[in-house]
Structure 1
Amino acid sequence: MRRDIIDITEILRKQAMRHHYITIVGTGSHREGFRLLGSDRDIMSWSNHLRVIWDLNQARSYRMRQLLILADSSDSPPGYTLLQSLTTPVITDYLKLPLIRINDKLYLSSSLNRILEMELPGSFEHGPCSSGVILGMIEYDRASCYASDFWPPSASSWIERCHSWPHPSVVDEIVTNGCHFAAIGHKLGNHENTEWRISFCTAELKLVYSMSHIQFLVYGLLKLFLKEVISSRLGEEGKLLCSYHMKTAVFWVLQENIMPYWNPQNLLQCFWVCFKHILKWVYEGICPNFFIPENNMFLTKIYGNSQRTLFQKLYTLYESGLESLLHSPSIGQHLKVVLENPTLRVSTDERSLVTEFDFFLELLSEVSQNDSHGLHSFRWCINLLKIVEQLVNLPLTQNHVAMLQKRTAFILKCIAFMFNMYTATKVNKIKYIADKISIQLLKLAVKFGFDSDLLYIAMYYYKTSRHVKALSVLKMTMKRFDHEYLIYNEKPCIHPRNLPKQMKPVVTQDIKLLKNICYLNELRLEQCLQQKRPSFLLIPPHVMIVLLEFLCYKQTNLVDAMSVLFVLQSQINSHPDIFPESTRGISWEILGNCQQMLGYTMDALYSYQQSLQQQGGPQIQIATIVRIIIAIYKILGIYDM
């Protein structure tokens, strides 16, 4: 399910950006389908105008507009290469390529490339990647690479080895897609700061996709064993091994056909074979890269005293046998039951392990996470809608359909508000037609999206001064939210094993306001002055209901407007399920904004101060400070509201 969601998302993104200068793809464990606690998001990007070739004859495959780079691995360790620029100085200056001169030739410097990639505040260098935290919680590793459409000559032996695994069609697809170059050199190479590592990230993803369910479970078990046992219990030496070594071990075991059968009954046996493979590598001090075996991935990391100590500690685990897995907090208790009952039949079928309701929640979570990409312009939205229309005609899984429906709802909402922005005309007929189209698009978005999407209709009615209609939609929304099976941000109010067949859950999520679209003039300051990333503002649906109620009542009934604010203030601290910590900053901010509109400046100042103290505050901190300054000026009589 997770792979289906990410796959269809990337197809959408690639199609939309096919004429763009850069390609961005997800890699790593998250892209493979794992959701391990504490794991980061791996992102890889490369220029579409630059391509690496291995031989000058390969230049004939390209048009002149694509700039070429020549890979020269003659003076580099296996798995690494120099990248020589073949373009003119004028073009390289325009592209700001990280060039240095070696023997009268221009080469791309991996170390300079890493420095140039430190663009986000708080980012730091982590291997070939720029690492940091977005949204205050999601850790990321972003690798800026260069792409080659050709398979590396040094990896040609891998093609010849692929007799039993993977399937020939997978091999052909991998070779056709070429490789990439990550910005890090070999520590023992002659040009450490200039060399680039040959990366097979996309090839590895296809290999993981080609695994059977049991093979994938063994790979996941190795990752858990590494994280929760080896790294956490074996001291500093245990941290020398990484997840990539585990993946490589699984690849070698599969290709060498050491285990002819992979099934639920011998899952632990398959795991143990892979672990012994790693133990053997540590003993020998050699971990051969799966594609280029001459590249020993232990060479600069696991050797000498650290190698001997690591082997001794791993051998202690080996002597404990499968009982060493009991040290894993995630699987220890489950494994204990299996080890105590050898004849127990264990199911690995997700449908029997995960309830229907839990699967539904996981689907919601994946869909919501992958629907976070912003839409840049009206033309971009229309283009995406056309791509969705084309994809609908393809054979799709239910997971694909769910993702496309959610994405379509988001696109329709953006188009509706953009259409209203771009048709500011005095011609009544044009305004009437534009208005009808916008409303129909928003109603269609509700059918495809979540129940909380009704609030976009209410926002639109308020923005176009139809306060009675806006209040009517709000009343209908609140009636929907008063439901036994309400789900907010993938968290249900109650958690049944399975939903009654006649009962449909009410799904709500935070209201997303993109920075480049004006939804409400009253929130424009928060939208414009938020940090560069993310490019959207998240508001809890219950807060949005109160805000819209207040704005509508403010035009007709101040008493009702004041009572609405009183309810909001009393609920922010008393209902953490409705107002989670991450959104309390914007909730207090909106409360203060409303109080300031009514002239309660001192109350507004208190609310703004509360907003600054919240964990979710940094996203709107600048806007909050500006509103505090305005409030103080108001008290001093300097600023006229």
Structure 2
Amino acid sequence: MIRHCSDNTIRMDHIPRLSEVLYVGLCRKIGKPTEVAIRRDVLDMKEMISRPVDNYEGIAAMNSGSYREGFRLKSSDIDTMYWFCRFKLITDISQSRIYNTSKHVILLMEDFDTPPGFVRLRLLTSPQNIFTISMCLAEFNGGVYMSGSLWREFYFQFHANDRYFQQKNIRNHGPCVTGVDGTLEFDQAACFASIYWPKQTRDWFDRCQRHTWPPVLVLEKILRNGFHCVPIGSKIVSTSNELEWRLSFSQAEQHLVCTMNHTQFLCYGLLKICLKEVINYRKEPLLCSYFMKTTMFWMIQLGHLIWLPNRLLDCFWKCFKYLIYCVYEGDFPNFFIPQNNMFINKMVADTRASLLQQLYQYYRMGVTCLLLSPTLKSILEPALSSPSFVLSTAEGEFISIADIDLCGMTEIFQIVIYCKHMVDIYLYLKSNDILSSFSCSPYQLLTLQYVKSDILVQLAFTVANNNSSCKYKNVYILDRVICNVLKLAGRLGPIYSLLFLALYYYRTAKYEKALHIIYLSKQRLSEDNIIYFNTVDRHRYIETVGNLPLSKRMNKAWVENMILNNNILYIEELCLEQYWSLQNGTPFLILSPNVMIELLSVLSHYRLGNRSQCLQSLTDLQTLLLCDDNVYALLETRDIAWQILGICQHIVGDLYGALQSYEVSLRQYQYNKIQEATLIRIECVKEQQHRIMQA
């Protein structure tokens, strides 16, 4: 099984069976080919849908990093790059002729007398035209330059003054503002974009053509999309490095990762796992995942490896040896600009020697060093203990339609569309219609359908909030239009999207109709074939909806939390919660559809005078919260769930119960940031109790 080689290393990389077992195990851990493709397709579509709104607001955005590449590891953070459309970055002064200096801010990129991979940005337009960022400018050699360090501080202070980010423990990290949103870490970088490639990358372009990787079409796409400059200087100490900006090729890297076959992608993931769980485990990290990505680019482009599932261990081992070689040489060349040694002033004598010694120990162990990783050990151990343990690498043998849909639902339901104004709604709907005519993958079309349902709901309630001045006849027509829009949203969206129609019926005193919708929704949510908060009975799901079109599967069997835009009033009973949630920097109210059903049921029965049914719905809501084991009302929605129970108890006259529920709401994790609303309601209950006692 495992033999000793002449250099005393234990070898597994020559055993195809172990490579295939590792391939399948990593598919289950990192993602199968179809799942990774869905993740990328959905994020691509999200960016395309949002682009017209971003352009209208003058700010462009792009997701980058491992999350955008298709990884969903615990360590995968969400990286976002922002840049202002008004700023135009050029590499030659002759390019400035195509821009209007009264509308655009022109920055000339200068790369003389700067380390490879770094530039200075000289301002060519009048500083008076950009007063808002004038504090980021500095004089140097007779010119005015955009200071990377001052820009970084300006951007950080902008976030620090935002109530939304004040809750996220933000800090400066390299060129980014870093924080934590729930369990996910995020990085945001404000940068400048250019479609003109710098001279420093000409050798890279020639090398790509020589080695025919990436393919010509991908290379052309990379060149069309351009690059960015991010606000961080080189590690070389000098008088001007605070003015320096680093050339960033994140968008190009994203295309390169998407060009990888699945064995290459899993090898990249294997390097990332090894880095986190073996090399950097309980040590000060000297290597980062960007080095693993760069290693993959170099090894793929050189073309010396056979990237097949039964050669995965061999590919990993050769990548690992390249990494050791770079540490030994003290030179890790950037893939796009090899003259940029990314180890400069990072791998000094003592730290490099220590890291080299550590890596050499793993080299002596051979590929069995992977067993030091708990994740990889759990994958490889069964194959090491049983010579007959074999797994097929054919994707169809270890993935079902339920798994694929679960992946698609997880990705699509993370898309949140935030409309501040009617113009945003118009632009989103127009973008949606245009993109629907393009050639799209099935899950991209489903993303468009889901987003359209969401936008239609926001449109309906925005119009409802603005119809106070309508005449009687116009109100009737508008009411019918709003109902039709919400019915269409219910047909397009997931199961819970029909509840927005029930919300509108309750709001307009059509209580019987609201109860009918509530009954239908409750029936659907009680079926055993639904994907409910990332859990599914695979056999029942495939048996009942597996043969339906993808859009019907979402409409009949997909469930997630409801999202209420805090800029839009849905019902008066939640007005206070939405107001304080928005004041605390949270643009949305997130709540369980089961809780919404019981809320509307209690309120509708109460308005109709059906006291027994009202109290039964109230009991059902209380039972749901007391007996649920984080299934029907997830932990992040418990603050609003207990608040809603308190509101219902308060309305029916159970002041003691309402007070208890509000106090429980305060003890929950404040995901929706409604604590001020809770305190106001507590005071209201206490005042009411006091008046009763006085009477």
Distance 2:80 2:470 in 1: 47
Q: What amino acid does structure 2 have at the position aligned with 1:75? A: D
1:603 corresponds to = 657
Which amino acid in 2 is paired with 1:540? S
Which whole-Å deviations, capped at 9, do the CAs of 1:455-488 have from their partners, x for residues lacking one? 1111010011101111111111112222112332
Q: Would you say the 8 A contact 1:54–1:70 is kept in 2? A: yes
Partner of 2:602: 550
Match of 1:193 in 2: 242
Distance 1:77 1:545, change over 3 A: same
- 8 Å CA contact retained: 1:355, 1:498: no
Q: Which residue of 2 aligns with 1:526?
A: 577
Structure 1 287/517 Cα, relative in aligned 2: closer, same or farther at 3 Å?
same
Change (3 A) 1:349 1:434: farther
Mapping 1:55-134, distance limit 5 Å: 55-64=92-101, 65-96=103-134, 98-118=136-156, 119=159, 120-121=165-166, 122-134=169-181
Tell which deviates more after alignment, 56-65 or 464-473. Answer: 56-65
Q: Secondary structure at the match of 1:500?
A: helix
1:68–1:549 CA distance, 2 compared to 1 (3 A) = same
What are the within-5 Å matches in structure 2 for residues 474-493 of structure 1? Answer: 474-492=518-536
Contact in 1 for aligned 2:640/2:672 (Cα 8 Å) = no
- CA displacement at 1:176 relative to structure 2: 2.8
Listed one character per residue, the Cα deviations across residues 405-427 of structure 1 (whole Å, up to 9, x for unaligned) are: 11111111111112222222442
Alignment pair present for 1:321 and 2:366: yes
The CA distance in 2 between the partners of 1:368 and 1:258, in whole Å, is 41
**2:474 — aligned with what?**
430
The alignment partner of 2:366 has SS state of helix
1:6 to 39, 43, 46: 43
For residue 218 of structure 1, what is the aligned residue in structure 2?
Answer: 267
Mapping of residues 3-42 of structure 1, within 5 Å: 3-42=40-79
Per-residue CA shift, 1:503-524, capped at 9, x if unaligned? Answer: 7663222111101111111101
Matching of residues 190-269 of structure 1 within 5 Å = 190=238, 191-232=240-281, 235-236=283-284, 239-259=285-305, 261-269=306-314
Q: Out of 117-126 and 598-607, give the one that drifted further.
A: 598-607
Give per-residue Cα distances to partners, 1:142-171, cap 9 Å, x unaligned. 011111221111121111111221122222
Q: Determine if contact 2:148/2:243 at 8 Å carries over to the other structure.
A: yes
Contact 2:135 2:150 in 1 (8 A): no
Question: Matches of 1:123 and 1:529 in 2, distance apart?
Answer: 22
Query: What is the CA distance between 1:617 and its match in structure 2?
Result: 5.0
Structure 1: any 5+ residue segments left out of the alignment? Answer: none
Cα shift at 1:317 = 1.0
How do residues 76-475 of structure 1 correspond to structure 2 at under 5 angstroms?
76-96=114-134, 98-118=136-156, 119=159, 120-121=165-166, 122-134=169-181, 136-162=182-208, 163-164=210-211, 165-190=213-238, 191-232=240-281, 235-236=283-284, 239-259=285-305, 261-338=306-383, 346-369=391-414, 371-475=415-519
Partners of 1:361 and 1:490 within 8 A in 2: yes
* 1:637 Cα deviation after fit: 4.5
* Pair 1:605–1:421, CA change in 2 (3 A): same
Aligned-pair distance for 1:491? 2.5
The amino acid across from 1:257 in the alignment is: G
Distance in 2 separating the partners of 1:373 and 1:435: 24
Contact 2:531–2:557 under 8 Å retained in 1: yes
Contact map agreement 1:591 1:607 (CA 8 A) in 2: yes
- RMSD (Å), alpha carbons: 2.2
Alpha-carbon distance, 1:550 to partner: 1.2
8 Å contact 1:611–1:617 — kept in the other structure? Answer: no
* Matched residue count: 632
Q: d(CA) in 1 for partners of 2:596 and 2:221? A: 48
Distance 2:398 2:535 in 1: 20
Task: Quote how far apart the aligned CAs of 1:348 are.
Answer: 4.0
Residue 498 of structure 1 deviates from its aligned partner by: 6.3
Worse-matched range after superposition: 28-37 or 602-611:
602-611
Does the Cα contact within 8 Å between 1:375 and 1:381 map onto a contact in 2?
Answer: yes
Corresponding residue number in structure 2 for 1:570: 623
C-alpha contact 2:127 2:134 (8 A) present in aligned 1 = no
Percent identical: 36
Partner secondary structure for residue 674 of structure 2: helix
Deviation, structure 1 residue 361: 1.0
Q: Contact between 1:356 and 1:497, CA under 8 Å: does it hold in 2?
A: no
**Any conservation in 1 of the 2:529–2:544 contact (CA below 8 Å)?**
no
Per mean C-alpha deviation after superposition, the further-off stretch among 424-433 and 271-280 is 424-433
Q: Does 1:52 align with 2:89?
A: yes
Distance 1:206 1:397 in 2: 18
* C-alpha separation in 1, matches of 2:387 and 2:261: 24
Q: Look up the equivalent residue of 2:203 and give its one-letter code.
A: S
Question: Which whole-Å CA distance do the structure 1 matches of 2:493 and 2:65 have between them?
Answer: 29
Task: Name the residue aligned to 2:676.
Answer: 622
Q: Distance in 2 between matches of 1:279 and 1:340?
A: 30
Distance 1:342 1:279 in 2: 31
Q: For residues 107 and 631 of structure 1, what CA distance do their matches in structure 2 show?
A: 60
Which residue pairs with 2:645 in the alignment?
Answer: 591
Q: CA deviation at 1:558?
A: 3.2
Equivalent residue of 1:39, what SS? coil
Relative to structure 1, the CA distance from residue 624 to residue 254 in structure 2 (aligned partners, 3 Å threshold; closer, same or farther) is: same
The SS at the match of 2:468 is: coil
**Alpha-carbon shift at residue 344 of structure 1 (Å):** 7.0
Find the aligned partners of 2:254 and 2:652 in 1 and give their Cα distance.
57
TM-score normalized by structure 1? 0.94
- Kindly indicate whether the alpha-carbon contact (under 8 Å) linking 1:149 and 1:179 is maintained by their aligned counterparts in 2: yes
Offset from partner CA, 1:300-357 (integer Å, 9 cap, x none):
2122111111111111111211211122222323233455678976544443332321
Give the partner amino acid of 1:557: N
Change in CA separation of 1:99 and 1:348 when aligned onto 2, cut-off 3 Å: farther
Unaligned runs of 5+ in 2: 1-37, 160-164, 547-552
Match of 1:538 among 581, 590, 594: 590
Deviations 1:560-613 (A, max 9, x none): 323322332232121121122211111111111222223333322221111111
Measure the CA separation in 1 of the matches of 2:487 and 2:263. 44
Structure 1 contact 152–178 (Cα < 8 Å) conserved: no
- Paired letter, 2:662: Y
Specify the SS of the correspondent of 2:473: helix
More displaced 10-residue stretch of structure 1: 506-515 or 373-382: 373-382
Distance 2:470 2:191 in 1: 50
Mapped to 1, the partners of 2:559 and 2:388 lie a distance apart of 45
Greater Cα shift, 183-192 or 516-525: 183-192
